[in-house]
Amino acid sequence: MHVGLHKTGTSTLQVGMRKLAPQLRSNGIGILTLPQIKVLPAQKAWKAWTKPKRALAPFFRRQLRQLISEENERVIAASGSPMAQLLFSEERALGQRMPSQIDSKQFRPRAERALGELLDIVDAGESHVVMYVRRQDTFMESAYLWEIQKGLDHSIHQQFPFAGRAIIDLAELGSRIERLARVDSLSVQPFEIISAGSVAYLDHFMEVVEMAGKLDYTVLDADYSANRSYSQKGLDIALKINSDLDTPKQREAVKRFLKKQFGVDQYPSAVIWDDVERKAIIELYRQSNEKLFARYMPHLPADSYSSVEATAKLAKVLRVS
């Protein structure tokens, strides 16, 4: 069960999983990803939502189990045997929303209910959870840019009024996940692995089903990569015109245009936190992040998220390895 977090390359992994599905199925591995869950008629019954429509819960359970049954049939057709493993990627498994006002008291407050319900429905013999993390200042920046790309025009301080408090405690979130009755193990991985490239990121992820180095990645599109974000110029334009966009179609067209014409591959990255704010946020989470690495990633330096320079060093080490 891959649970995100949001903005840690989840789309990159899910697109890759779907492209590799025939190979995975031939090895007895089924896949389920967010787009399949999003179209379930009763998905609003799931406890990941702020106000789940619990009257629909039996239908949600039935529909999700039907998806799993259909995937099992695909695996049987491809491998000749029933599904041995299910690779399930759904970043909403820790709660529906991006980090925002809803997280003002506890990060991912619906994590236990949302993930617990999914694991109960899947009802696997063993359940292993994989969570990718990133440094909190960059996590908030990416979440903010995602909202701007949807057509909003607020400031990052409006989205994160709790930025001066240590709410996004990743070590504490890991402990909460581990305490769930159906979680047999939790693996926490650094988002910075993606610095080695999207294919390397995907291949590293495939270690969870013992398929790293065993798949043919030439099936991926030539432009397979992580989601492009807005550059500073793209962000400035978006903040000026987003309020004048009236329809989802207009907002999507502008997002595509700005990503293509003013993406970070052509212009300098957006500067959202100033240096003083960034250092304060990093310092705020220093001890918590040291616990995170010591507990879940002991093979990496515990101070990897203690500064911009330390994280850059971590990325360099991960690129080489």
Q: Which residue has the tokens 């793209």?
A: 234
Using alpha carbons, select from 25, 40, 109 the residue that is nearest to residue 71. 25
Which pLDDT does position 320 carry in this prediction?
85
Checking DSSP bridges between strand 185-190 and strand 29-33, what pairing results, if any?
A: unpaired
Question: What are φ and ψ of residue 62, in 5° steps?
Answer: -65, -40
Question: Which residues have C-beta within 8 Å of that of residue 145, sequence separation ≥ 6?
Answer: 229, 230, 235, 270, 272
Which pLDDT does position 104 carry in this prediction?
66
Which pLDDT does position 135 carry in this prediction?
98
- Give the torsion sign (CA, 289, 292, 295, 301): negative
Which pLDDT does position 9 carry in this prediction?
93
Whole-angstrom distance, CA of residue 55 vs CA of residue 53 = 6
Which pLDDT does position 97 carry in this prediction?
65
Tell me the domain boundaries of the chain. Answer: 10-136+166-226+286-320
pLDDT in tens, 147-189: 999 999 999 999 888 888 899 999 999 999 999 999 999 999 9
Whole-angstrom distance, CA of residue 121 vs CA of residue 215 = 29
- Residue ranges in the chain whose pLDDT is less than 50: none
pLDDT in tens, 22-63: 999 999 999 999 999 999 999 999 999 989 999 999 999 999
Report whether 140 contacts 202 (CB < 8 A). no
